[in-house]
Amino acid sequence: MKKIGVYTSGGDAPGMNACIRAVVRTAIANDISVVGIRRGYEGMIAGDMIDLDSRSVANILQRGGTFLKTARSEEFRTPEGRAKAMEQLRKRGIEALVCIGGNGSYAGALKLNEEHGIPCVGIPGTIDNDLYGTDFTIGYDTAVNTALDAIDRIRDTADSHDRVFLVEVMGRDSGFIGLDVGIAGGAEGIMIPEDKEDIGKLLTHFSQEDRRTKAFSIIVVAEGEPEGGAARLATRLLAEYPNLDIRTTILGHIQRGGSPTARDRILASRLGYEAIQALQKGLKNIAVGIINGYASYTSFEHAIHNKKSVSHELLRMAEVLSR
């Protein structure tokens, strides 16, 4: 193997640049040249590619986002689009791909291999931490710390005004961010997609006399929780408890930005390194991960179709500690 391509796809995550850096420098150390594919599958179809060397990835370790850019591609979902992408890869002499992204990115890489035979290795890059086959995904630790910093600040103003704050964090299908931020931020309530009884627990919480008279409360709400997010939850709570002074804060995309934490930089670097090791071993259609401190390989099929869930023991603990 003489040349590989690397790209980021789907939502951006802090640490992606550190991962690209590790892929490039590890490949070069193994006498493999690297082509950076800009704008994910959309750029692959358009032939938007650049040669990368050690200097081109210097001074990006600390930068958030992805300097290769990312985009979603409807055309790549079609066999014709994937054929166009493969034609561009052949023109550049690319023999294998390293894909940094989430579930949809893995699915695209798998389709490309099934239809055109190019080996692909995936690296889990998403702030949601919902990918099977790794304990943590690139960007998750940074997103949690960003949200926690915001909640610590909100707590100050909630206390000053005796208000209930509903703080919405990212997590359309997964409550990893919401659960960890809720525990670390001392939230009185945590609303996540995995807990179907969370609204009942919250109503019970505010039905208690001492809770209704408590100075303030912080409730962490994952955007994908069953009640439909912080705004709809606020409407329901006000209907039940009109005397509550409720405010909502949607943290949104600030959780995706910013300089990655040390933990994310180290994780991203190691996963980039391990991806090249996997290709050197002749592996394909696998996602690399770190489980219990050790490198792990999971087939794309298993990574795509298996769901990683939050710890229900942590959920129980959070409920006890919020009393």
Give CA separation, 306 vs 58, 80, 236, in Å. Answer: 36, 28, 34
Domain with CATH 3.40.50.450 in the chain: 3-139+260-305
Contacts of 288 (CB under 8 A, 6+ apart): 121, 122, 123, 124, 134, 271, 274, 275, 278, 295, 296, 297
Question: Which residues are bridge partners to 222 per DSSP?
Answer: 169
Domain with CATH 3.40.50.460 in the chain: 141-256
pLDDT of residue 209: 60
Contacts of 287 (CB under 8 A, 6+ apart): 106, 121, 122, 123, 124, 131, 133, 134, 297, 298, 299, 300, 303
Provide the whole-model pTM.
0.94
Strands (E), 212-316: 217-222, 246-250, 286-291, 294-299
Written as one letter, the residue type at 258 is: G
Contacts 24+ apart (CB under 8 A), 24-28: 24/52, 24/53, 24/54, 24/56, 24/57, 25/54, 25/57, 26/272, 26/273, 26/275, 26/276, 26/277, 27/276, 28/53, 28/54
Return the CATH class of domain 141-256: alpha beta
Q: Which residue has the higher pLDDT, 303 or 203?
A: 303
pLDDT of residue 202: 82
Helices 262-280, 140-161: axis angle to 10 degrees equals: 160
Average pLDDT for the chain: 93
Which of the four CATH numbers 3.40.50.450, 3.40.50.720, 3.20.20.210, 3.40.50.10190 does domain 3-139+260-305 have? 3.40.50.450
Distance of alpha carbon 299 from the chain centroid: 19
207: pLDDT strictly greater than 90: no
Helix (H, G, I), strand (E, B) or coil at 163: coil
Angle at alpha carbon of residue 98, lines to 129 and 298, rounded to 5°:
50
101: pLDDT strictly greater than 90: yes
Residue 128 appears among annotated catalytic residues: yes
Average of per-residue pLDDT across 114-135? 97
Residue whose token pair is 């790794």: 134
Out of 12, 48, 53, 128, which one is annotated catalytic?
A: 128
Helix (H, G, I), strand (E, B) or coil at 86: helix
For residue range 33-61, list pLDDT tens digits in order: 999 999 999 999 999 999 999 999 999 99
Residue 205 — very low, low, confident or very high, per pLDDT cuts 50/70/90? confident
210: pLDDT strictly greater than 60: no
Q: Are 58 and 311 in contact (CB under 8 A)?
A: no
Q: Which candidate, 246, 207, 212, places its Cα nearest to that of 230? A: 246
Question: Which residues are bridge partners to 191 per DSSP?
Answer: 221
